[in-house]
Amino acid sequence: MSDIKIRNFHWGKDFKRIIKIVQEVWFFDAPTKRIGYLNALNFMLHYLNIATHIVVTVDEHDNATGILGLTTKQDQPLFRQNRFICCKARALEFTSKVALYFWPQALVSRLFNGIFFENYQKLRKMVPNPQDPEFLVMIVDPKIKGKGLGRALVQAGEDILKSKGFNQYYLLTDSSCDVGFYERLKMDKVLDVSLCFDIKHEPAYDHYLVGFLRGLIYVRNI
Ligand SMILES: CC(C)(COP(=O)(O)OP(=O)(O)OC[C@H]1O[C@@H](n2cnc3c(N)ncnc32)[C@H](O)[C@@H]1OP(=O)(O)O)[C@@H](O)C(=O)NCCC(=O)NCCS
C-alpha cells in the first residue's frame, strides 16, 4: 500500500479518464456507448459538483486510476473555487441531463437514473447525523481492483477529515455496489432498507434490475 500514489484531482488531467472508468464500471450495458458516456457524465457530476475534496490514485505515468469525492458540508465545493471549471462542470451536467431526456434510446437509462436519484434522496433523509461529512463517490479502475487502491483512497479521505477536526463521516450505498468492501473495512452499517426499482417492464433491464435493491448507510468513526 505504501507505493500507491495519491494526489488531488486535476480537472484537465483526470476528468476524461475518470468518466471512462465510470462508464466501464457502471454504464457498460447502456444501449449505446454515447448514452453510457452521457450517463457517466451525469452521474459523476451530480456528485463531483458538490464535493469539497476530491483525490485520485495515479499510476506511474500520473494517470488517474481511482477517485474519491467527499464533502465536509462546511467548505466550498472544489469546482466553485475556479470559475472556468465551475461553469464547465455545471454546463456538462445540464447538457448530459437534457441529452438523455430527449434521446429516445436513453429512455431506460433516464428512468433508471430518475429512480436511482429519488431512492438516494429518500435514503439521505434517514442519515442519523446529516451534518457529518459524507463520502459521495468512490470508484477504482476495474483492471486494478483488489490491489489496495480503495483502502488507500478511504485512508486519504479520512486523513483530510481528521486534519479538519472531524471524527465521524457517513456514506450511502446500495447492494448493486461493492458493499463487501465497506464490510471488510469494518464500517458500521447503521441502516439497511429495501429500495424499490419499479422498471421491470423494460425488457432491456430485466436481467439487471430484480425489482429491488438494499439501500445502505455506513458510518465510520475516525
Ligand atoms: C469498492 C472499490 C472502490 C474497492 O476498491 P479496491 O481497490 O478493489 O479495494 P482494495 O483492494 O483496497 O480492498 C481492500 C480490502 O477490501 C476487500 N474488498 C474489496 N472489495 C471487496 C468486495 N467487493 N467484497 C469483499 N471484500 C472486498 C479486499 O479484498 C481487501 O481486503 P484485504 O485488505 O484483506 O486484502 C472498487 O472495488 C470499486 O471501484 N468498485 C466498483 C464501484 C463501487 O462499488 N464503489 C463503491 C460503492 S459506491
Structure confidence by residue, pLDDT tens digits, 62-109:
999 999 999 999 999 999 999 999 999 999 999 999 999 898 888 878
The pLDDT of residue 65 is 98
**Helix, strand, coil percent content, the chain, rounded in steps of 5:** 45, 25, 30
User: DSSP letters of 185-205?
Assistant: TT-EEEEEEEEE---TT-GGG
With the most atoms of ligand 1 within 8 angstroms of its CB, the residue from 177, 181, 217 to mutate is 181
For the segment 42-61, the average pLDDT, to the nearest whole number, is: 97
Nearest atom in ligand 1 to 149's CA: 7
User: pLDDT confidence of 155, banded at 50, 70, 90?
Assistant: very high
The pLDDT of residue 136 is 98
User: For ligand 1, is residue 173 a contact (CB within 6 Å)?
Assistant: yes
Predicted model pTM: 0.93
* CA 106 / ligand 1 centre spacing (Å): 30
* CA 146 / ligand 1 centre spacing (Å): 6
The pLDDT of residue 119 is 87
* CA 143 / ligand 1 centre spacing (Å): 12
User: For ligand 1, is residue 77 a contact (CB within 6 Å)?
Assistant: no
Tell me the pLDDT tens digit for each residue of 172-207. 999 889 999 999 999 999 999 988 766 555 555 555
120 by Cβ neighbours in 10 Å (0-12 / 13-18 / 19+) ranks as middle
* Residues near 44 by beta carbon (within 8 Å), at least 6 away in sequence: 18, 19, 22, 137
